[in-house]
């Protein structure tokens, strides 16, 4: 059986381990190693060598991201570390599993990451709807402070770290790191112009690193067992395991920790149990709602960042949304565009106006009021809202399922135009 360092100690239905149980299973041993046997540069280098890439969607190398933080006696103070637990990508629920199942693992990873960049304040940014996770984190933080893992002079090392739980009112835009930073400052959650990047000028103008929950949970295992161990968990050159999720008309929807590079076929057929009786696979979004469709011909593609990109999509969060042959593709895409249109922060015109127009156009097509010209309007917006033409990646991400849907399911769009209503109704 493959190793599951991130989820091996999670016992669904039993609640998360308390501090004493977490320590008994080896918890905080990595922190002790980092503080007593390593220096900040050594920790950062080990993470860089491990091949860990961000698990929040973009897949940027984590060690490289940390390396952009100014270090030394002349570096601005204080520095901040933020764990992004907003997780509002439709179809994505992996971080919730980690937060509810083993909050001390996240806390330990954050302390080590903060030590590596010499941050003195850390925030866990979480959406308000994750109430069970909030309760688990609140209890775990109190235990960590009481045990001396947080606060001043941690484990006699001279390193100090304060950690706070920030429960957000919640918007999809808060998942974008600069929008999250604005929300933490009490401002409207809108993106910031880059450069400067958060690593040099982020929260309150100070150096800030924002990492995903799953990313930070990997850190203790890298530090404790080494970069080579972490790379050995993977089936590709991208290190570690990955939490893969599946939703849709499959027999066993859920979330599993598997080696990075596990094929889509294995995830769907062996772990999700294949399609439910009477349903066939029509397509899938491999990494959440803001990724391009893949088809049955792509089932043997490995789920890692490089392989999925070569197939014409993005791995994103690694959570697969299945489209079956009895679900209307136009209605499926329309539902996603309603979400993205509603969640646009309105900061830039193409996103604010364009997504609303796309949603209305798809509604007309779905209701039998569409025209041939509407297909051209949708294709125009796919080009208009492409990467580099909006302030952030929200609208380009929204266009990925639309653009690929027009490519792969064009006959279904045409049937809607020629029919008085949705053919699936």
Q: Is residue 3 part of a domain?
A: no
Q: Is residue 337 part of a domain?
A: yes
Q: Are residues 98 and 165 in the same domain?
A: yes
Q: Are residues 161 and 33 in the same domain?
A: yes
- pLDDT tens, 179-213? 999 999 999 999 999 999 999 999 999 999 999 99
The last residue of a domain, from among 198, 232, 266 = 232
CA atoms within 13 A on the CB side of 361: 22
Q: Are residues 299 and 181 in the same domain?
A: no
Cα 362 from Cα 48, distance rounded (Å): 44
Q: Are residues 250 and 343 in the same domain?
A: no
- Residue 31 belongs to what domain range? 19-232
Q: Are residues 123 and 66 in the same domain?
A: yes
Q: Are residues 214 and 252 in the same domain?
A: no
Cα 52 from Cα 305, distance rounded (Å): 11
Q: Are residues 287 and 411 in the same domain?
A: no
Q: Is residue 66 part of a domain?
A: yes
- pLDDT tens, 77-110? 999 999 999 999 999 999 999 999 999 999 999 9
* pLDDT reading at 312 higher than 90: yes
Q: Are residues 186 and 79 in the same domain?
A: yes
Q: Are residues 220 and 251 in the same domain?
A: no
* pLDDT reading at 350 higher than 60: yes
Percent of the chain with pLDDT over 90: 92
Q: How many domains does the chain have?
A: 3
Distance of CA 218 to the CA centre of its chain: 14
The last residue of a domain, from among 232, 263, 279 = 232
Q: What is the pLDDT of residue 254?
A: 96
Q: Is residue 12 part of a domain?
A: no
Q: Are residues 282 and 337 in the same domain?
A: no
Distance of CA 111 to the CA centre of its chain: 20
- pLDDT tens, 260-297? 999 999 999 999 999 999 999 999 999 999 999 999 99
Contact between 175 and 87 (Cβ < 8 Å): yes
The last residue of a domain, from among 232, 250, 284 = 232
Query: CA geometry: angle at 60 spanning 141 and 178, to 5°?
Result: 65
Q: Are residues 334 and 319 in the same domain?
A: no
Q: Are residues 51 and 67 in the same domain?
A: yes
Query: In the structure, what pLDDT confidence band is assigned to residue 2 with cuts at 50, 70 and 90?
Result: low
Q: What is the CATH number of the domain that holds 317?
A: 3.10.20.600
The total number of residues shown for the chain amounts to: 425
Q: Is residue 10 part of a domain?
A: no
Query: Which residues neighbour 49 within 8 Å (Cβ) at sequence distance 6 or greater?
Result: 63, 227
Q: What is the mean pLDDT of residues 356-385?
A: 95
Q: What is the pLDDT of residue 59?
A: 86
Q: Is residue 409 part of a domain?
A: yes
Q: Which two tokens stand for residue 302?
A: 């490995």
CA atoms within 13 A on the CB side of 167: 11
Q: Is residue 14 part of a domain?
A: no
Q: What is the CATH number of the domain that holds 131?
A: 3.40.50.11540
Q: Is residue 8 part of a domain?
A: no
């Amino acid at each position: 059986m493959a190793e599951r360092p991130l989820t091996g100690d999670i016992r669904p239905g039993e609640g998360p381990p308390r501090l004493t149980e977490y320590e008994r299973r080896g918890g905080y041993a990595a922190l002790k190693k980092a503080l007593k046997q390593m220096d900040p540069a050594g920790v950062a280098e080990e993470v860089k060598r491990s091949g860990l890439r961000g698990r929040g969607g973009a897949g940027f190398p984590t060690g490289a991201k940390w390396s952009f933080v100014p270090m030394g006696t002349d570096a601005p103070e204080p520095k901040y570390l933020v764990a992004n637990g907003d997780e509002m990508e439709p179809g994505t629920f992996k971080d919730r599993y980690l937060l509810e199942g083993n909050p001390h693992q996240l806390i330990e990873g954050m302390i080590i990451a903060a030590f590596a960049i010499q941050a003195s304040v850390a925030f866990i940014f979480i959406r308000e709807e994750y109430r069970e996770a909030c309760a688990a984190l609140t209890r775990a933080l109190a235990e960590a402070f009481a045990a001396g893992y947080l606060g001043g002079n941690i484990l006699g090392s001279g390193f100090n770290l304060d950690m706070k739980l920030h429960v957000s009112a919640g918007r999809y835009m808060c998942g974008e790191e600069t929008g999250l930073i604005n929300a933490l400052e009490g401002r409207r959650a809108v993106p910031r112009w880059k450069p400067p990047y958060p690593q040099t000028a982020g929260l309150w103008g100070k150096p800030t690193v924002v990492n995903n929950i799953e990313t930070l949970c990997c850190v203790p295992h890298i530090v404790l067992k080494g970069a080579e161990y972490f790379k050995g968990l993977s089936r590709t050159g991208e290190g570690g395991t990955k939490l893969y999720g599946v939703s849709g008309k499959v027999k066993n929807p859920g979330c599993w920790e598997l080696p990075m590079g596990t094929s889509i076929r294995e995830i769907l057929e062996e772990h999700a149990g294949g399609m439910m009786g009477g349903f066939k696979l029509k397509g899938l979004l491999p990494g959440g709602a803001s990724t391009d469709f893949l088809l049955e011909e792509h089932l043997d593609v490995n789920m890692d960042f490089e392989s999925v990109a070569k197939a014409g999509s993005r791995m994103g969060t690694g959570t697969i949304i299945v489209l079956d042959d009895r679900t209307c593709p136009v209605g499926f895409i329309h539902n996603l565009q309603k979400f993205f249109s509603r969640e646009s922060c309105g900061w830039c015109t193409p996103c604010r106006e364009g997504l609303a127009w796309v949603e209305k156009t798809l509604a007309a097509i779905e209701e039998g009021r569409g025209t041939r010209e509407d297909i051209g309007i949708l294709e125009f917006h796919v080009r208009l809202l492409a990467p580099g033409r909006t302030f952030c990646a929200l609208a380009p991400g929204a266009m990925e399922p639309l653009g690929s849907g027009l490519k792969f399911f064009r006959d279904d769009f045409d049937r809607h135009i020629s029919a008085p209503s949705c053919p699936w109704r």
